[in-house]
Amino acid sequence: AAWKLAPSRDGVEDAIYHDGQFYSVSYTGVVEAWQRDTESGTFTSTAVTPKLIVKQGGWPCHRKYLAAGPGGRLMVVLKYAQVTKDLHSRDGWTCTFKVHVLGDDGQWKETMDIGDVALFVGVNTSLCVPTMGCPGIMAGCIYFTNDELGVAKLRRTKDLSSRSYKSCDDEPVNSDIRALGVYSLKDGMVKKMEALQQQYRIFSAPPVWITPSVP
């Protein structure tokens, strides 16, 4: 067995294995389905959705995440982030999320109601989780982590030079929200995950989600 390169014209920003097939979302906002040739082992892709419109005013789209929602519908989560200034001209940071669901007509539809599920997104995985029977998970919310690898590298460099695990001095003053948070699609508010904040601060690498078996 050997690794095979699966070339994508527009690159792969996120990928999932769903219903016996690999799907990916490109940096340009197109979802592709992948097929493997049983003889050569090579992979080819086919676009299965129209291109997403990702612009939102002056906010840049930082990341796109792909997940399979209720009933197997494909969902793409768009993360928008922006550096802000407080009254003392100190850097802050804020983010917002948009969810698009692929309809029966093959078109994307933005929604703020994802039902009794929650979405987990981050550097390592994108997952749609049913909240029934899971009282600790809030429905209609997006659980996110800091998945900015450039910031993590800067943090790591500073950690090694100082031989400590203090937070990076160049991070925005409200970097707790940047690191780990829960975004409510209904009201657009972000809540901190207090139980994980201190653990996050002692590590320089981006946090990842570890998902046990979910009924």
The 10s digit of each residue's pLDDT in 167-186 is: 334 444 344 444 678 999 99
Query: What is the pTM (predicted TM-score) of this model?
Result: 0.78
Q: How many residues does the chain have?
A: 215
| Residue appearing with tokens 């910031």 | 151
Burial of 17 (0-12, 13-18, 19+ CB in 10 A): exposed
In the three-class reduction of DSSP (H, G, I as helix; E, B as strand; rest coil), residue 91 is classed as: strand
Q: Which residue has better confidence, 197 or 42?
A: 42
User: For residues 2 and 43, is the Cβ–Cβ distance under 8 A?
Assistant: no
Per-residue DSSP letter, 13: S
The 10s digit of each residue's pLDDT in 137-154 is: 999 999 998 776 554 444
Backbone angles phi, psi at 105, to 5 degrees: -85, 5
User: For residues 190 and 141, is the Cβ–Cβ distance under 8 A?
Assistant: no
**Average pLDDT of 74-79?**
96
The pLDDT value recorded for residue 128 is 93
β-pair partners for 128: 119
